[in-house]
Amino acid sequence: AQSVTQLGSHVSVSEGALVLLRCNYSSSVPPYLFWYVQYPNQGLQLLLKYTSAATLVKGINGFEAEFKKSETSFHLTKPSAHMSDAAEYFCAVSDLLTGGYQKVTFGIGTKLQVIP
Amino acid sequence: DVKVTQSSRYLVKRTGEKVFLECVQDMDHENMFWYRQDPGLGLRLIYFSYDVKMKEKGDIPEGYSVSREKKERFSLILESASTNQTSMYLCASRHGGRNTGELFFGEGSRLTVL
């Protein structure tokens, strides 16, 4: 089964600084990878996804992530943090089960704090 | 827009009560999921359903059951609620098949068991 490791349950950055949220996965085959964001008191929404096309994936709100197979990583970045980016971010991997169905496994999440 | 609606945002129940959490989606999605979200543990899959009347156990099914009698509705049932089931419950849906489509989430149901 797939697993996802998010390094750092809390990350603080200054407004305007680079955002880097780390995600590593375990997989013996190329996976499908996702980043979701959760704002306070809301459900999760998709930021971006990797599905074996381009290794650099662009998402909403200026976020992007790079798939690095050699490092089994899918880190999320944004060049300049905004106050509105304060939220919890989840990395997820899709696991192909017997029968062709896919199960999605989530990391523990990283809470991003943006300091004015 | 896809909408996943969870019937109750906040519930308070007593130990031993039977609890129903309802989820409805309006996009004709085949797949539906129930996750539990706890601080430091992320989202953990309780049950999922790939189509009407189908259900599969996730990673933490103990103490829960589900019902999918209609395509748009997926219910999570706690037969006898316990304090360790105090949590945020998230429902999600997705198109079916061998796809890599995103999950669409409801806003969550925060359950407190006293």
Q: What secondary structure does DSSP assign to chain A, as a single string?
A: --EEEEE-SEEEEETTSPEEEEEEEE-SS--EEEEEEE-TTS-EEEEEEE-SS-SEEE-GGG-EEEEEGGGTEEEEEESS--GGG-EEEEEEEEEE-TTS-EEEEE---EEEEEE-
pLDDT at A96: 66
**CB–CB contact B99 A108 (8 Å):** no
pLDDT at B2: 66
HSE, side-chain direction, 13 A CA sphere, residue A72? 15
Mean of pLDDT values over B74-88:
97
**B43 to chain A: nearest residue by CA?**
A106
Per CB distance under 8 Å, which residues of A are interface residues toward B? 6, 9, 32, 34, 36, 41-46, 49, 51, 90, 94, 96, 100-109
Pick the range with the lowest mean pLDDT from A25-29, A42-46, B42-46, B105-109. Answer: A25-29
pLDDT at A2: 73
Residue B97 has pLDDT above 80, yes or no: no
pLDDT at A39: 93
Single out the residue of B87, B95, B70, B93 nearest to residue B4, CA to CA.
B93
pLDDT at B32: 93
State both tokens at B17.
């009560």
* Ranges of chain A with pLDDT below 70: 1, 28-30, 96-101
Distance CA B8, CA B17 (A): 16
Mean of pLDDT values over B72-89:
97
pLDDT at B61: 96
Mean pLDDT of chain B: 92
Distance CA B95, CA B57 (A): 19
Q: Which residues of B26-46 are buried (b: 16+ CB within 10 A; e: fewer)?
A: eeebbbbbbbbbeeeebbbbb
pLDDT at A55: 86
Pick the range with the lowest mean pLDDT from A57-61, A65-69, B47-51, B98-102. Answer: B98-102
Which residue from A102, A104, A108 is facing B41, i.e. has the nearest CB? A108
∠ CA(B96), CA(A22), CA(A103), 5° rounding? 20
pLDDT at A95: 73
**A32 to chain B: nearest residue by CA?**
B100
pLDDT at B99: 62
Which residue from B41, B97, B103 is facing A104, i.e. has the nearest CB? B103
